[in-house]
Each structure stands twice: as structure tokens, then as C-alpha cells.
């Protein structure tokens, strides 16, 4: 969403219970369960969060700040999910945060030992927000399993920065922070690969596109909206109308012009 910094701060506060300071970058941490997300979160923020179990099912429980190069970052650890298709409460929380809070950077943590399964989530995140960094964690485990991942090619395939880490050993975390800063400040442009669906899906999306642009004030990717409508995802519709309701003042303002 293209919100002003102030609008964004109040949105984070009202809807997610997260207080973000002026000038602080918001960083979301997404990933499958058990990929070492909490290890990365703890290593960067210096907290000791047991993020495996998501307490209270709200995002304000797992947040922590860190400084890098005199810049301040607020990191929000999202529940571990396999997808964002919102079949579970956790998936819904993660999706709503990425969608409506529009963090400055989203770090998708992948388990390098099961790349295929983990990429599924990454591609879904790419559909929602362009500002993504992929963190390829558990590289040490992958090496033990004699899996060789070509990080440069992966970066090219995905169109976003890929950082290889072994968070338990503390490897690659400085580079991760550097990339977070670069993407957050806009110094490093990203162009995430978009999922190419089969022709019948693409045709249906095409058909719905002209209609969806207006409903969210172009604040959400119209393509993604069309896909959710094809999904028949009611929970998303509920979230959407709840968030649009809050922001209807801008709608009114725009109409008045």
C-alpha cells in the first residue's frame, strides 16, 4: 500500500498492536514452520522468543528491534506457515500482515534441505509484495545431505536477493542485515518472479482484472486480488472489507475531489 509514514504507523498500531517508531523500518519474517525463523529472529534482535508456538495468535507478541548502520529496524516474526492460502488462523494472520501492513521488507526464510516445498511460500509472498529477501537457511544441513544449491542462479530465477545462512552458527547474518537495509532504503531494487498459472487461470484473471482495480484503491496488487477471488476465499474478503472500512476516509476524500 502506498501509505504515508504516519498512516502506516497508526495502521500498525490499530490493527496489529505494533508500535513502530518514526523513521523505523518494518521488517516481516515469514517462513515454513521449523526452518530456523526464530533462531534468525533471536540472533538479530537479541531476544529469546519461543516463536515455535505462536502465543495469543496476534503479531504483537513476536517483535523486536535492531540497529544496523545507524538505522533502526522493527522485526515482526510471523507464524510459520506452509502457504498463504489462509486455510488456518496462522496463515490468515501472516497473509493479512503482509497484505495490509505492507512492511518495508519481508524476509522469507527457506529451509535449504527442502527447497522445493519452501519455495511454494516464497512465490506466494512475491505475489503480495515486491520488497522481499530470500534467506536460505540451514545451509550447513543441506551440505551434510550433499545438496548443492546454486545461490546465484536462484537469485536470478527469483529476482530478489538471496542470502545463504546457517543461523545456528551465526553465518550470513551480517549479509542478511546489509540486504535488509539496502532493500528497505530502496538502494537495491527487486523484481520478484511472478507465478505463471495455466492458461485457464490466466484467462479468468484477465477477465476479473478490470473490476478489481477499483475495489482496493489500487493499494493491493490487482492480480493478487483477482486470484483470491478465483480462489473463492471468503476470509480474505472479510479481512479486506474490515481494512477498507478503516481506510474509507481516504476513499471519501478521493471521491470528493
Kindly list the residues in this chain that would bind another protein in the complex (CB under 8 A): 82-83, 85, 87-89, 115-117, 119-120, 123-124, 145-151, 153-154, 157-158, 193, 195-198, 200-201, 204, 207-208, 211-212, 214-216, 226-227, 229-232, 237, 240-241, 244-245, 248, 251-252, 255-256
Min CB(21)–another protein separation in Å: 31
121: number of CA atoms within 13 Å, CB side?
Answer: 32
Instruction: Give the count of alpha carbons within 13 A of 210, CB side only.
Output: 2
Closest CA to 99 of 125, 120, 64: 125
Give the residue with the Cβ less far from another protein, 7 or 72.
Answer: 7
**H or E element at residue 136:** strand 132-137
DSSP state of 160: S
C-beta of 6 vs 254, nearer to another protein:
254
Nearest to another protein of 30, 240 (CB atom): 240
Residue 256 C-alpha cell reads as 470528493
For residue 65, the SS3 value is: strand
Give the nearer residue to another protein in terms of CB position, either 47 or 229. 229
DSSP, res 113: G
Closest approach of another protein to the CB of residue 141, in Å: 13
Amino acid at each position: 500500500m502506498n501509505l504515508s509514514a504516519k498512516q502506516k504507523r497508526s495502521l500498525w498500531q490499530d490493527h496489529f498492536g505494533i508500535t513502530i517508531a518514526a523513521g523505523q523500518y518494518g521488517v516481516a519474517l515469514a517462513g515454513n514452520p521449523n526452518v530456523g525463523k526464530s533462531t534468525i529472529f533471536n540472533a538479530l534482535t537479541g531476544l529469546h522468543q519461543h516463536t515455535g508456538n505462536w502465543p495469543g495468535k496476534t503479531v504483537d507478541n513476536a517483535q523486536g528491534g535492531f540497529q544496523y548502520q545507524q538505522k533502526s529496524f522493527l522485526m515482526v516474526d510471523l507464524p510459520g506457515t506452509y502457504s498463504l492460502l489462509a486455510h488456518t488462523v496462522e496463515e490468515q494472520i501472516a497473509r493479512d500482515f503482509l497484505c495490509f501492513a505492507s512492511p518495508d521488507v519481508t524476509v522469507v526464510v527457506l529451509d535449504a534441505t527442502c527447497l522445493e516445498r519452501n519455495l511454494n511460500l516464497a512465490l506466494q509472498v512475491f505475489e503480495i509484495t515486491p520488497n522481499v529477501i530470500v534467506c536460505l537457511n540451514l545451509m550447513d544441513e543441506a551440505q551434510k545431505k550433499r545438496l548443492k544449491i546454486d545461490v546465484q542462479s536462484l537469485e536470478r530465477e527469483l529476482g530478489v536477493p538471496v542470502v545463504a545462512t546457517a543461523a545456528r552458527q551465526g553465518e550470513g547474518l551480517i549479509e542478511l542485515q546489509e540486504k535488509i537495509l539496502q532493500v528497505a532504503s530502496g538502494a537495491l531494487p527487486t523484481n520478484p518472479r511472478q507465478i505463471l498459472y495455466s492458461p485457464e487461470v490466466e484467462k479468468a484473471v484477465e477477465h476479473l482484472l478490470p473490476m478489481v482495480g477499483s475495489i482496493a484503491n489500487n493499494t493491493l496488487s490487482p492480480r493478487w486480488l483477482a486470484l483470491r477471488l478465483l480462489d473463492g476465499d471468503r476470509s480474505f474478503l472479510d479481512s479486506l472489507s474490515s481494512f477498507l472500512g478503516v481506510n474509507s476516509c481516504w476513499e471519501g476524500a478521493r471521491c470528493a475531489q
